Chains A and B, each alone.
Chain A
Amino acid sequence: MSEISVEITGLKKSFGSLDVLKGIDVTVNRGDVVCIIGPSGSGKSTLLRCVNLLEEPNGGKIVVNGVELTDHDVDIDRERTKIGMVFQSFNLFSHLNVLANLTVAQRKVLKRGEKEAQEIALRNLDRVGLKEKANAMPAQLSGGQQQRVAIARALSMDPDVMLFDEPTSALDPELVGDVLGVMRQLADEGMTMLVVTHEMQFAREVADKVIFMDGGYIVEEGPAAEVIGNPQEARTQEFLARVLDPTHHGPSDPA
C-alpha cells in the first residue's frame, strides 16, 4: 500500500449559496496525526465530514487508502467501515448498551459472528479503559466515558484512519484529559488520525502536521512547532492570540 492515507485535492463544498470549502488540498501520510484548527464557521467540520462523504462534495477529489471516494461507482458503505469517525456529541446509540454499541455494526455490516464481535469489542473497551462498563447504557456514563466508548466503537471496525471532530469540546474540563489520553495512546500505536480540535497543547505535542483553516481555505500548514509556535500568516497569529491568550476569554473576565 502507498504511504499516503488520505489525499484531498481541490475540495469544494457549498450549502446553497454559502461557499464553505473553496478548494482544499490535504495530504495525510500513513501513521501521521494531522490536526485542523481554525475559527468557528471556517469549515473544519465540513472538511472532516467530506472525508467519509457524510457531506457530498461539490467538487474535487477524495482518495482514502488508494480508493477514490468521490467516484460515484464506489461502494461508500464498504469504504466507510475503514474510516472511523468520532463526533463532538458522541452519538452513542442510546437504545443499546455499551457492548451492543460496539458490536452492532460489526455484526450487521462486517457480518462477524457474535462471539468474535464481542471479543473485539471487549478488547477495544479495554484499550479505552472501560471494560467494566460493557453492560452499562450510554445515559449512565459521563461525557468522557461516552466519548471513549465512541472511540472504542469506531476502533472495533478495525479502521485504517480515524476522524475526530472536536472530540473534547462538549466535555467538562476535568474529563478532557481522559479522552486526550486515549487519543495520544492511539497516535503512539501508529493510527492515522485527522483531528479537528481547539486543544492547542494536544496539537503541539501529538500532531505531525497542523493545518490552520479560515474562510474556506487552508491559510497555513506545517509542523506544529511552526504553525502554532511561530505562525507566519497574520490570520493565524490573530487566531492563536485569541485562543491562547487567557485575557481574551470574555468581557466578564477581569483584564
Chain B
Amino acid sequence: MALSKRKRAEYFRYSQYTLLVVVALVIAFLADWEQIRTAFFNFKTMGDMFPNVITIALKNTLIYTALGFAFGLALGLVLALMKLSSIAPYRWIATIYIEFFRGIPALLVFIGLAFGVPLAFQIQFDIYSTVMLALGIVGAAYMAETIRAGIQAVPKGQVEAARSLGMSQGRAMITIVIPQAFRIILPPLTNELILLTKDSSLIYIIGLARDQYELTKFGRETLSRSPSLTPILVVGLCYLIITLPLGYLSRYLERRSGGKKVSVL
C-alpha cells in the first residue's frame, strides 16, 4: 500500500462525496414530502401574506432599523469622543454606559422603555420613539467602541497637519479625523446594521397596531391564524433580503480597504 499523499487525499475526498450522496438518498426516501410541503410551502398562506409582508412588515423593519441605527450612530459618536476625552469623568461615564448596555440583553432595554419608563416617569413614547431609543441605546454601546477604534486608527500626522494649518482641535476632529475614521470602520458598522436589523424583532413585546407590525411580529400573527412553518419561512427570507446584501457589502468594503483591520476591544 504505497499510496502517495496526494492519492490518499483524493480517495478521502471521494469517500466524503459518496457518504453525502448516501445520506441525501436516505433522507429523500424516508421523508414525508407531503408533510414537508404543507409545513414549509403552504402556498395559500404565502399568498395571503402578500403584499402586506412587504408593504407593512418589511417596510417597518427597515424604518425601525434605520431610526435605531441613526440614533445609535449619533450617540455612539458622542460616547466615543467621551471615551477619548482628556476629562476623566467623561471617560468613566462612557465606559460604564458601554459596559452596562453591552452586558445586558437588548430585550431588557425594550421592556424598560416600553413599560418601565412610562410607569416611572408618566411618559408615553410613541412606537417609533421607543424603537429608536431602544435600538439606539443598545447599538450605541457597540458602535462607540468601533468608532473609538476608528478614530484612533487615523494616523497622528493627520491631526498634526490640520493643527499646523490653524485648525482647532474640534475643527480637526470634525473635518479631518472623523471622516477618515468612518471610512476605516464602514465594514464593522455595516455588520452592526445587520445586528440591529435582527434586534428590531424585539419590539414584538410591545403592543403594536396592525400597520406597525414588523417582520417577526407579522410572522407570528400569521402563524396564529395558519398553523404551519410557512409564515416563519417567508419572514425569514425577508430578513435575508436585507441582511445578505449588507453582509456582502461589508465584505466588499473590507476587501476594498485592503483588509486594513481596526482592533475593536
Contacts and interface: CB of A to CB of B under 8 A. Distances in A.
Interface in B150-171: 155, 157-158, 160-168, 171
**DSSP majority for the B interface?**
helix
Interface stretch (B122-130, B175-183, B216-224): B175-183
A105 B160 contact: no
Contacts of A104: 175-176
A77 B164 CA distance: 8
Contact of B165 (A80, A89, A94, A95): A80
Given A77-B168, A89-B157, A91-B157, A105 B180 contact: no
A52 B171 CA distance: 18
Given A95-B179, A95-B180, A109-B171, A153 B158 contact: no
A157 interface: yes
Nearest to A89: B157
A108 B171 contact: yes
A96 to B, nearest CB: 8
B165 A105 contact: yes
A83 B164 contact: yes
Contacts of B183: 95
Interface string A83-95: 1110101011111
A80 B179 contact: no
A58 B179 CA distance: 34
Interface residues of B, number: 18
A81 B167 CA distance: 8
A154 interface: yes
Interface in B171-200: 171, 175-176, 179-180, 183
A110 B167 CA distance: 10
Contact of A109 (B155, B158, B166): B166
B157 A87 contact: yes
Contact of B161 (A83, A91, A95, A109): A91
Contact of A105 (B155, B158, B166, B179): B166
Contact of A80 (B155, B166, B176, B180): B166
Nearest to B154: A94
A81 B166 CA distance: 5
A78 interface: yes
Contacts of B155: 91
B164 A108 contact: no
Contacts of A84: 164
A78 B168 CA distance: 9
A54 interface: yes
Given A95-B179, A95-B180, A95-B183, A109 B160 contact: no
A77 B180 contact: no
**Which of B166, B176, B179, B180 has the most A CB atoms < 10 Å from its CB?**
B166
A109 B168 CA distance: 9
A157 B166 contact: yes
Nearest to A104: B175
Contact of A78 (B157, B162, B166, B179): B166
A120 B253 CA distance: 35
23 contacts: A52-B164, A54-B163, A78-B166, A80-B163, A80-B164, A80-B165, A80-B166, A84-B164, A85-B161, A85-B164, A91-B155, A91-B157, A91-B158, A92-B161, A93-B162, A94-B180, A105-B166, A108-B167, A110-B166, A153-B165, A154-B164, A154-B165, A157-B166
Interface of B: 155, 157-158, 160-168, 171, 175-176, 179-180, 183
Given A54-B164, A81-B165, A91-B158, 6 more contacts: A77-B163, A84-B164, A91-B161, A95-B176, A105-B166, A108-B175
Rank and list the top 4 A-B pairs by shortest CB-CB distance, nearest first.
A81-B166, A105-B165, A91-B161, A91-B157
